[in-house]
A and B are shown apart, each in its own frame.
Chain A
Amino acid sequence: MKLTVWTYEGPPHVGAMRVATGMTGLHYVLHAPQGDTYADLLFTMIERRNHRPPVTYTTFQARDLGSDTANLFKTSLQDAYARFQPEALIVGASCTAELIQDDPGGMAETMDIPVPVIPLELPSYQRKENFGADETFFQIVRTLAKPVARTARISCNLIGPTALGFRHRDDITEITALLSDMGVSVNVVAPMTARPSDIARMGAAHFNVLMYPETAETAARWMARELDQPYTTIVPIGVGATRDFVAEVAGITGVTPYLDDSRLRLPWYSKSVDSTYLTGKRVFLFGDGTHVAAAARIARDEMGFEVVGMGCYNREMARPIRALAKDYGVAATITDDYLEVERVIEALQPEMILGTQMERHIGKRLGIPCAVISAPVHVQDFPARYSPQMGIEGANVIFDTWVHPLVMGLEEHLLHMFRDDFEFHDAAGPSHHGGHAPRPGAAAGPAPQAAPSPRDISEPEKTGADIIWLADAERELKKIPFFVRGKARRNTETFASERGVARISVETLYEAKAHYAR
């Protein structure tokens, strides 16, 4: 039994739903109690889909247990087939149905459903959402994809995009264009956009582009083995990775490498003088393994940040992320425990977090800016505008997204210069963000209720408890702009305690500043 407050991944059947909802002409019959229908809202609200996920839930109740849950499943399957007329069905159990052991797959087999019915075994008490998506896609491919003649032109399948994926919609567009520039056409995009009949013709492609290993690696391996299709291993997120990806595709296909970088702006934006303030910003990375690995390279090599820590929540990626962390000389945080991630961030005190929706909230609480680089994400990360993560435009989008939460270069200097200015009070965030929190106590109505910090349920932390700030020093500290004040306070306290100084004066403050200057 494990105490959990927030989770990075849902149960595995939600992964299966991401596959089913991304596809058309496929229907999922899920043996599950009524409350599990909440999962529909992930797609209809968070992703703003305009149709219901193609899922029929059996919604068995307590009174059905032991009597006819099995029949209920059969009726649901029969009705779903009759109503939706899918080209193929997937069937499976949610966590509760797994316990009553009705065996949806076995039951389906005994029924005369005239289209393929693919049974899913997704162990709910061991595995999670990404596994569910990966396994479901694999089972669909394994059942439906057959060896077929290759297309005359060099073509590939784009595999991995699912419903509810982070920017999958736009990554498909970007990568399709990039490949087309090289003269490579796209045969099938799957699971998102594909029908079961499209899966059947995946074998016509010359190779697979594995866009998201989290959701399609097992299928990629199977197709490499059974359909003789090599797959790409580089995920084209970031400038360097995109160039490497182009080279990899050229290697696989023998076409000439080509990348139209006329619209690429990240390198210049990183170089331009305003970006000086980005230099050495200490960033912490967390998310799914693929996006974290890509972000690490961008952060260090393309933005000039200092990576102070990284980690992922999907254990499947533990090994590569550990190795990468070692490369970067930092510790790897491999955990799906949100509170642990928060503890790590609190200890590292980065100047920016590149994370998920969860880290955005951690950042809010700790006063650290955060940009989102990975699922899980919320409704604001499904923007109306085109905003891929992959390829050339992806790099531009990433530059903008990461810089957005930060105070801009010149603004940082102005804040220093006018630090006593009344408008530069602590609660005023960067000037390009609307709706700043009202200054506490200002006449702008009741202050938002402070959320009790999650530290409540962790061990009390002791920092600088026996160090005293003299009044002068405390006043001086207040003059330091709010976004660096936390760091200044900590640095000064560390500096003082290392030297056995118990009372911090203005002097100590500036000695510490000089000491940490870089």
Chain B
Amino acid sequence: MTELPRLPTSGGCRDEPILKQRGQREVFCGLTGIIWLHRKMQDAFFLVVGSRTCAHLLQSAAGVMIFAEPRFGTAILEETDLAGLADAQSELDKVVDQLLARRTDIKQLFLVGSCPSEVIKLDLSRAAERMTERYAPSVRVLNFSGSGIETTFTQGEDACLASMVPVLPKTDERQLMLVGALPDVVEEQAISLLADMGIGPIRVLPAPRSDTGLGIGDKTMFALTQPFLGDTHAALERRGARHLPAPFPFGEEGTTAWLRTIADEFGVDDATFERVTAAPRARARKAITQASDALRGKSIFFFPDSQLEIPLARFLTRECGMEAIEVGAPFIHKGIVGPDLDMLAQGPTLSEGQDVDLQLDRCRDARPDLTVCGLGLANPLEAEGLATKWAIELVFTPVHFYEQAGDLAGLFSRPVRRAELLDLEVTA
């Protein structure tokens, strides 16, 4: 019998007050999502319509990490494009013609809006419609915004997936849809666990290629694998699909609760659930115990970044014995992270949005044992003697589900162990 997670007796954080400050935000814009999305969708090209800054962001945030010829690029707006809008549309046509003529492997093209394209009101949805007609049936052209005035970091993936939902064909098949771009190895693990319980068919959004026949309809149940998919969630519901709200599959407990929610919906009996999950659960527990040794009793402070903060705080406090001081998230969407908030014991400050200078003041006062933050803040905080974990790694690395639970704990324990390991003083 699998016991359901026990909720904190003191009460969870769902109805706790949320600190909202407005000042400088130190976060990426949604364009950053392209870095992992283009690896995931193998026949897609992401064309940012933006400025040199946008191109430089993409390159700096990831370029060197994946220096294969990328399936993304930037159509850089120039003075002439800014002068007249009609011009910009036809210029864009030219760039796309050029691109698609050279890259016949591209089946889906995303026109990605940026701050400059939005400020000059360059209508990319019109452009996408026009181009879809022009290139049908070989290439489908969609658009979404990854701009920094509209989106924060992982919201770019949300906007991208949401843009795909309206064009999915309708299906009346009862199916399970897993939503969120995960590393293949993780995705396969999830599918095989669920398939072993007899659940199927299982589909994934985003599909690795555009020709997989992914459909949607009233009989589609969907589970989110990432907490930042608010718009996608809404778009799926508009197509009649039903959400299965659950804690996110981080750690043994989160994974079990997530699987359990789906299993219940699909009428999986306890014995089957137990048979499929017992071994990996035991492995996950063991791995977490080992990897979280250095974390027990240590405090943690989250700067807002990926929206993974709340589920991760839940995992780290409940399964790794950490104490959360502040859990900052760029947005708190209770319809999605509610189940995680229920499980997170009261105590930490919950904050949404940010004023980075004030938040740094709080962090310095609290002197947490570990601070989770973006790349711009990590080294400066290390230099002040605070151990840090770069948040961006959490979206790049396989961290979901049982087999990665130990790795996930390890990502946090490494900087703590490292801080304890380094010794540069005289020994005598």
**Residues of A with Cβ closer than 8 Å to B?**
1-7, 9-11, 13-14, 33-42, 44-46, 48-52, 56-62, 65, 76, 79, 83, 94-96, 99-100, 124-126, 128, 357, 361, 364, 378, 449, 451-454, 456-459
- Interface residues of chain B: helix, strand, loop or mixed (majority): helix
Q: Which residues from chain A contact B73 at a C-beta distance below 8 Å? A: 3-5
Q: Which residues from chain B contact A49 at a C-beta distance below 8 Å? A: 379-380
Closest to B392 in A: A41
A378 touches B148 (CB 8 A): no
Q: Which residues from chain A contact B98 at a C-beta distance below 8 Å? A: 3
B379 touches A7 (CB 8 A): no
B56 touches A7 (CB 8 A): yes
Bound Cα distance A389, B51 (Å): 33
Q: Which residues from chain B contact A48 at a C-beta distance below 8 Å? A: 379
Report if B64 contacts A (CB, 8 A): yes
Closest to A84 in B: B357
Chain A min CB distance to B46 (Å): 12
Bound Cα distance A34, B331 (Å): 14
Q: Which residues from chain B contact A11 at a C-beta distance below 8 Å? A: 51-53, 56
Bound Cα distance A62, B192 (Å): 42
Question: Which of B52, B81, B150 is A128 in contact with, Cβ under 8 Å?
Answer: B52
Most chain A CB inside 10 Å of its own CB: which residue of B24, B26, B380: B24
Other than the given A1-B81, A34-B148, A41-B375, 8 more pairs (CB < 8 A) read A1-B95, A3-B76, A5-B70, A11-B52, A35-B147, A49-B380, A96-B53, A124-B51
Known contacts A3-B99, A76-B24: does B75 contact A125 (CB below 8 Å)?
no
Report if B118 contacts A (CB, 8 A): yes
A60 touches B149 (CB 8 A): yes
Question: Which of A10, A57, A452, A454 is B24 in contact with, Cβ under 8 Å?
Answer: A57
Bound Cα distance A100, B119 (Å): 7
- Interface residues of chain A: helix, strand, loop or mixed (majority): mixed
Q: Which residues from chain B contact A458 at a C-beta distance below 8 Å? A: 102
- Mark contacts of B15-57 with chain A using CB atoms, 8 A cut-off: 1 yes-contact digit, 0 otherwise: 0000000011111111110000000000000010101110111
A99 touches B120 (CB 8 A): yes
Closest 6 CB pairs of A and B: A35-B29, A35-B148, A40-B376, A451-B68, A50-B383, A33-B148
A96 touches B116 (CB 8 A): yes
B374 touches A1 (CB 8 A): no
Chain B min CB distance to A366 (Å): 13
Most chain B CB inside 10 Å of its own CB: which residue of A34, A49, A449: A34
B69 touches A454 (CB 8 A): yes
Question: Which of B69, B375, B383 is A452 in contact with, Cβ under 8 Å?
Answer: B69
Q: Which residues from chain B contact A46 at a C-beta distance below 8 Å? A: 60
22 A-B pairs whose Cβ atoms sit less than 8 Å apart in the complex: A5-B69, A5-B73, A7-B52, A33-B148, A34-B27, A34-B149, A37-B26, A38-B28, A40-B377, A41-B61, A51-B380, A57-B24, A61-B150, A62-B118, A95-B51, A99-B120, A124-B52, A125-B77, A125-B79, A361-B67, A457-B99, A459-B102
Question: Which of B56, B57, B69 is A453 in contact with, Cβ under 8 Å?
Answer: B69
Q: Which residues from chain A contact B56 at a C-beta distance below 8 Å? A: 7, 10-11, 14, 39
Known contacts A14-B56, A456-B103: does B149 contact A96 (CB below 8 Å)?
yes
**Which stretch, B86-94, B198-206, B393-401, B406-414, touches the partner chain A?**
B86-94
Bound Cα distance A49, B79 (Å): 35
Bound Cα distance A5, B375 (Å): 23
Most chain B CB inside 10 Å of its own CB: which residue of A128, A361, A449, A458: A361
Most chain A CB inside 10 Å of its own CB: which residue of B27, B28, B56, B76: B56
Q: Which residues from chain B contact A13 at a C-beta distance below 8 Å? A: 53
Bound Cα distance A61, B147 (Å): 10
Q: Which residues from chain B contact A35 at a C-beta distance below 8 Å? A: 27-32, 57, 115, 147-148
Chain A min CB distance to B73 (Å): 5
B52 touches A95 (CB 8 A): yes
A4 touches B55 (CB 8 A): yes
Q: Which residues from chain A contact B92 at a C-beta distance below 8 Å? A: 1
Q: Which residues from chain A contact B95 at a C-beta distance below 8 Å? A: 1-3
Closest to B48 in A: A4
A33 touches B63 (CB 8 A): no
A125 touches B380 (CB 8 A): no
Q: Which residues from chain A contact B30 at a C-beta distance below 8 Å? A: 35
Question: Which of A34, A62, A126, A378 is B64 in contact with, Cβ under 8 Å?
Answer: A378
Chain A min CB distance to B120 (Å): 6
Chain B min CB distance to A113 (Å): 18
A96 touches B119 (CB 8 A): yes
Q: Which residues from chain A contact B67 at a C-beta distance below 8 Å? A: 361, 364, 451
B53 touches A36 (CB 8 A): yes
Q: Which residues from chain B contact A451 at a C-beta distance below 8 Å? A: 67-69
Report if B378 contacts A (CB, 8 A): yes
Q: Which residues from chain B contact A126 at a C-beta distance below 8 Å? A: 78-79
Bound Cα distance A68, B352 (Å): 21
Closest to B146 in A: A35
Q: Which residues from chain A contact B7 at a C-beta distance below 8 Å? A: none
Chain B min CB distance to A445 (Å): 14
Bound Cα distance A452, B52 (Å): 24
B147 touches A79 (CB 8 A): no
Q: Which residues from chain B contact A125 at a C-beta distance below 8 Å? A: 51, 77-79, 82
Report if B105 contacts A (CB, 8 A): yes
A39 touches B149 (CB 8 A): no
B74 touches A4 (CB 8 A): yes
Chain B min CB distance to A181 (Å): 34
Bound Cα distance A292, B87 (Å): 38
Closest to A7 in B: B55
Report if B132 contacts A (CB, 8 A): no
Most chain B CB inside 10 Å of its own CB: which residue of A33, A38, A52, A96: A38
Chain B min CB distance to A108 (Å): 17
- Mark contacts of B315-349 with chain A using CB atoms, 8 A cut-off: 1 yes-contact digit, 0 otherwise: 00000000000000000000000000000000000
Report if B59 contacts A (CB, 8 A): yes
Report if B152 contacts A (CB, 8 A): yes
Chain B min CB distance to A267 (Å): 35
A4 touches B53 (CB 8 A): no
A1 touches B51 (CB 8 A): no
Known contacts A4-B55, A65-B149, A126-B79: does B118 contact A52 (CB below 8 Å)?
no
Question: Which of A6, A44, A128, A453 is B63 in contact with, Cβ under 8 Å?
Answer: A6
B115 touches A33 (CB 8 A): yes
Q: Which residues from chain A contact B150 at a C-beta distance below 8 Å? A: 61-62
Chain A min CB distance to B190 (Å): 22
Bound Cα distance A44, B70 (Å): 25
B102 touches A457 (CB 8 A): yes
Q: Which residues from chain B contact A361 at a C-beta distance below 8 Å? A: 67
Known contacts A5-B70, A37-B25, A96-B116: does B380 contact A52 (CB below 8 Å)?
yes
A10 touches B52 (CB 8 A): yes
A51 touches B149 (CB 8 A): no
